[in-house]
Structure 1
């Protein structure tokens, strides 16, 4: 049973709606309506090609009529399997356009008229009485819905009708020695049948043993009368004596305690000259050219990623697309070889006409290939192109330049909507807001906690240390929690980073041993418990931020994902940052989808309240992809969360921010 149906204008005006239950009617009028959530979280962000949208137990499906700027929406309870929803949407669209196209067209024209501001107050008033204009639609809709529900009910009854199965009769096992009896475990058997089967098996085994014995391949045990199994090949070969493991010696003599102490680099020790080990290499830990900038307020900000250093940076995005969309000119020598992939396609679309799906299909196919070359995941490229196509089908254009601008604007707008973050990416503001919040007299200030998650080998620990350097530069005291208790060397790696960061200090020069510390409990311990102890330790010792490093895990490993969800539900970190590679392509979709879903499902089941998902991304190895930055589009599309930082090198200053306009420009670059 449906819960809600509506027909709306893209400008937000509802032309017709119906709620089938009192709860649905009350919900439809509130801001938490699944239809309103659909508009905010899917349509505005350009996610117009999803199969369905789910929110608070409801599933929502929709379709468009672009030339009339209409949106048809159907909402129902997610637990129901309604097979006729898509067919209902298509039929609603055809019928409504067939009967009310002229009325809706005049209404849309009035919205776009010169006196739009003056007429906006009368759109839903006396000038346009939608209940009267679409009065006949209620009757048409009732007939349509009734016919589809009856058809679905008949299909459901036909599927539930039991099938007639032939009765299987039991046939006694054959006494042929070359056949093996089969036991039907589904049918009950009495003792007589079981005994008969056992006797048949024994007789066959005796027959086979006798044949093998006649050939010399078997042997009998004296006095028993029973055949025994033939000797295996391993029994005829002499057994090798196992050798004891010999201790390896590095030289003629075993190393002494002084030799072992000289090779021990796991702790910070002063050298003979009184200078700490590694301090002579501090310059290699900071790249002066990639240092961030100080604002007037004294805040240290990381640089924006600069695409201008790429080899194709001289080409502006708009110029590149215009060049690709330029029509073929037979009079220009050599133009056929220099034009882009879209030019020959758009040459067929000149003139004034209404765009159809067949007109745009070759253009969208070429656009999809272009996005995939930019390292956009194939599924995401398809959905983006379908969304662009849905926004153009039915629009009337005139002249080639109009088509050029329409397609370029639609693609750029779609990419911008997807990449624009819904939440703030200003971590400094979030940290300062929490630390400055007023507390009750009997409460202690809790530190701001950030958990880094991701698959194996993407660079979580390395980029965590870069974020730590950025926080130290802004005057925060940071505690790093070593919650990777599985990988060998994980704790030692963080210990080296803490040692280096404590020597670098603020501005890369001043000593800051009091600003960063490592909290670790060794290996094989519960990561959730270590994180909890670290947060309490930071609270008691006035640390501002806790950075929680977790073990890498594959997204399909359910036990490890449950352990990660336990860490999240027990400690409730302020931010959960997914660390991923810029090189993954299609794999980014699978990784992010399963990480986010597992965290939400398992953290909700093991803790109280709503499950937590990923709050943002940090993309590593960004300097290896040039302008093939499609992973940023794929990751943002999947989660709807922003990319907070990108890692682009091996020093602590190699951290960058992304600007949406720059990423769109890089993706559209020819």
Structure 2
């Protein structure tokens, strides 16, 4: 049974709707409606092209009529297996367009004639949809009744065809008009015959079952008493069904002979013992006699700051990192793609999609685009996106979404099909990459620090937790973020919560020492601006993070950066430990650190990290149900224009990419502009 059905204009105006239950009517009017969520997450944000959407126990299916800008939506409970939904959507679309196409065409034309949203609302309100669609309810009722009856008959015929009981057991099933009790008896009849065990014709079956049972028991005994021969236990054996001989020796000692352990020889580097001069040459400690504050041994600290990649300061004195630019030769990278797509000349531009552009150029002239016309174009587009390191699944969905917006569109006049398809792709990529939340991390920090508090309450520092898989560069890029915060005059406490990896605490200690000596603007001492909080190895990371937040509050630190141990997304115990840290401490931001080099793996990592954090932290704690709030993509300088990982990550989570790391120094941190990423993806 359906719960909700509606017909809407793409601008958000509902032309007709029907709710079949009071609960569905109440849910449809709320902001948490699955239909509203579909419009927001799937259609507006463009993060799904599959014509099926699931939320809060409901399944939502939809279809488009692009030439009339209509959306047909059907919602039903996900647990129900409704086989007629596709037929219903197809019939709805066909009948509604057949009966009301002139009216809808006039309505859409009037909407395009107005210039402002207010005028559009006034003009839409002047149309009487109830009068215009008079009689549609009767048509819809007949349609849904016919489809439900047909589905019921098909289901019964399948059940009858699947059941072939023996002739002496055939009994006449009850008819539909004999009451509920007889129907239950018929269901029991079907169940008994459908799942009755057939007699086995294999005479060896009992013998094989006994053999398998003996082998299983033998394995259990062996695992239970492993090494039993050495401990006085009884040895077990597995019978070979072919020969009846033992398939392994009687004891583990016979199967695996003991190896004699050899004493490890001590290694000596060189013939002579180490002298005091050798020790002095290897001494790089800070308190070494003659060591200055500007260098550690022969290492120049200024090499840790690249002057050419330093950010800029605004009029307010805030330090902003540079924007990542795809092409330095072009003077205006923000408008390059937009200007190219707005040109409506008959000659297709030559340098955006290469082979895909030549495919677009085949479709020219005034015509209505069909799926057959767009199929080779979309296939070329998908291959191009995958070459740009976009995950295959994401490339499929993006191309499907572009195709859905173009099917039924009439192309002609001054606009070529090439320009129309390129514009649709650019619009889709821009919509996906555009952040849905603020990416101004500094504004969030200052807002929390400046918010009023009761006089008896002490302010908590702003906390950021960095999570991700092993080896992506969490600690290194945490130190880059720390440098950016120090340049903006904030006091930063780094919490060493990676208590597993050897050298993790020492690595952060080196970063803190370097950052303390660099100071603001790369000159001067800033020892009081950054500090390390650590409790060694083997401790509970959630407890260390909690202690660090308390220490930061008591010592007036502005920001606490929490470094966590890398873990694989499929390791459930480690993901539970990470979720515990989130649930106990409820950080202000959870930033996923991922590599720009990965393609399909990025989708798997992000999906499982986000799901594990939400599921495992939902039981208790202040941060229950928290997911990933943003991404930091590392090794960005290694991919050139193959920046598809940014598209894949944003598509999966709907969260923004806050920074990208692109080098080895503390200043190698960049912000992403949507236009630059789109330009890189569309380039050859």
Identify the TM-score tier after normalising by the shorter chain: 0.7 to 0.9
Counterpart residue number, 1:639: 653
**Alpha-carbon distance in structure 2 between the residues aligned to 1:202 and 1:667:** 60
Counterpart residue number, 2:527: 513
How far apart are 1:441 and its partner, in Å?
2.4
Counterpart residue number, 1:294: 313
Q: 1:656 aligns with which of 638, 646, 670?
A: 670
Counterpart residue number, 1:136: 135
How far apart are 1:597 and its partner, in Å?
1.2
How far apart are 1:15 and its partner, in Å?
0.6
CA contact (8 A) 2:496 2:563 kept: yes
**SS of 1:99 mapped into structure 2:** helix
How far apart are 1:264 and its partner, in Å?
7.4
How far apart are 1:231 and its partner, in Å?
11
How far apart are 1:281 and its partner, in Å?
1.2
How far apart are 1:136 and its partner, in Å?
2.4
Q: Does 1:272 align with 2:289?
A: yes
How far apart are 1:111 and its partner, in Å?
2.1
How far apart are 1:306 and its partner, in Å?
2.0
Deviations 1:149-172 (A, max 9, x none): 445556666388423431248958
How far apart are 1:339 and its partner, in Å?
10
**Alpha-carbon distance in structure 2 between the residues aligned to 1:663 and 1:231:** 63
Q: 2:211 aligns with which of 174, 182, 205?
A: 182
How far apart are 1:252 and its partner, in Å?
5.6
**SS of 1:466 mapped into structure 2:** helix
How far apart are 1:89 and its partner, in Å?
2.4
**Alpha-carbon distance in structure 1 between the residues aligned to 2:252 and 2:479:** 65
**Alpha-carbon distance in structure 2 between the residues aligned to 1:230 and 1:488:** 36
**Alpha-carbon distance in structure 1 between the residues aligned to 2:199 and 2:424:** 63
Change (3 A) 1:233 1:382: closer
Change (3 A) 1:242 1:256: farther
**Alpha-carbon distance in structure 2 between the residues aligned to 1:151 and 1:563:** 52
**Alpha-carbon distance in structure 1 between the residues aligned to 2:661 and 2:561:** 17
Counterpart residue number, 1:472: 486
How far apart are 1:28 and its partner, in Å?
1.8
CA contact (8 A) 2:346 2:416 kept: no
Moved more, 527-536 or 18-27: 18-27
Counterpart residue number, 1:283: 302
Change (3 A) 1:475 1:379: same
**Alpha-carbon distance in structure 2 between the residues aligned to 1:289 and 1:299:** 18
Counterpart residue number, 1:189: none
Deviations 1:282-334 (A, max 9, x none): 111000111111111110000111222379999954687799997699xxxxx
How far apart are 1:514 and its partner, in Å?
0.8
**Alpha-carbon distance in structure 1 between the residues aligned to 2:266 and 2:238:** 54
The count of aligned residue pairs is 622
Counterpart residue number, 1:309: 328
Q: RMSD between aligned alpha carbons? A: 3.8
**Alpha-carbon distance in structure 1 between the residues aligned to 2:276 and 2:153:** 85
Change (3 A) 1:256 1:180: farther
Counterpart residue number, 1:221: none
How far apart are 1:22 and its partner, in Å?
1.8
**SS of 1:141 mapped into structure 2:** helix
Q: Does 1:165 align with 2:197?
A: yes
Change (3 A) 1:153 1:476: farther
Deviations 1:579-620 (A, max 9, x none): 111111221111111111111111113546751111111111
Q: 1:582 aligns with which of 589, 596, 599?
A: 596
Structure 2 unaligned residues grouped into runs of 5+: 163-189, 215-236
CA contact (8 A) 1:566 1:606 kept: no
Change (3 A) 1:274 1:374: closer
Change (3 A) 1:644 1:119: closer
CA contact (8 A) 2:344 2:415 kept: no
CA contact (8 A) 1:293 1:301 kept: yes
Q: 2:441 aligns with which of 416, 427, 442?
A: 427
CA contact (8 A) 1:325 1:346 kept: no
CA contact (8 A) 1:324 1:342 kept: no
**SS of 2:327 mapped into structure 1:** helix
CA contact (8 A) 1:351 1:400 kept: no
**SS of 1:75 mapped into structure 2:** strand
Counterpart residue number, 2:72: 72
**SS of 1:521 mapped into structure 2:** coil
Counterpart residue number, 1:383: 397
**SS of 2:681 mapped into structure 1:** helix
CA contact (8 A) 1:321 1:668 kept: no
Counterpart residue number, 1:411: 425
Deviations 1:171-191 (A, max 9, x none): 58999xxx9963579xxxxxx
CA contact (8 A) 1:375 1:630 kept: yes
Q: Does 1:529 align with 2:558?
A: no
Moved more, 285-294 or 130-139: 130-139
**Alpha-carbon distance in structure 2 between the residues aligned to 1:409 and 1:371:** 15
Change (3 A) 1:233 1:532: closer
CA contact (8 A) 1:448 1:574 kept: yes
CA contact (8 A) 1:317 1:666 kept: no
CA contact (8 A) 1:619 1:645 kept: yes
How far apart are 1:58 and its partner, in Å?
3.4
Q: How does 1:550-561 map to 2 (within 5 A)?
A: 550-561=564-575
**SS of 1:604 mapped into structure 2:** coil
Change (3 A) 1:256 1:50: farther
Counterpart residue number, 2:172: none
How far apart are 1:61 and its partner, in Å?
2.5
Change (3 A) 1:170 1:30: closer
CA contact (8 A) 2:596 2:643 kept: yes
Q: 1:440 aligns with which of 427, 444, 454?
A: 454
How high is the TM-score relative to the length of structure 1?
0.83
Moved more, 416-425 or 624-633: 624-633
CA contact (8 A) 2:345 2:415 kept: no
**Alpha-carbon distance in structure 1 between the residues aligned to 2:77 and 2:621:** 25
Counterpart residue number, 1:19: 19
Change (3 A) 1:228 1:383: closer
Deviations 1:39-63 (A, max 9, x none): 2222111235035334444333222
Counterpart residue number, 2:104: 104
Change (3 A) 1:497 1:98: same
Change (3 A) 1:245 1:78: same
How far apart are 1:562 and its partner, in Å?
1.2
Change (3 A) 1:620 1:326: farther
Structure 1 unaligned residues grouped into runs of 5+: 186-200, 213-226, 330-334
**SS of 1:469 mapped into structure 2:** helix
Counterpart residue number, 2:174: none
Q: How does 1:533-612 map to 2 (within 5 A)?
A: 533-607=547-621, 611-612=625-626
CA contact (8 A) 1:328 1:343 kept: yes
**Alpha-carbon distance in structure 2 between the residues aligned to 1:442 and 1:543:** 18
**Alpha-carbon distance in structure 2 between the residues aligned to 1:565 and 1:497:** 27
CA contact (8 A) 2:365 2:417 kept: no
Moved more, 462-471 or 397-406: 397-406
How high is the TM-score relative to the length of structure 2?
0.82
CA contact (8 A) 1:553 1:561 kept: yes
Deviations 1:59-105 (A, max 9, x none): 33222110110011122344545444344323322232233222222
**Alpha-carbon distance in structure 2 between the residues aligned to 1:5 and 1:202:** 63
How far apart are 1:544 and its partner, in Å?
0.7
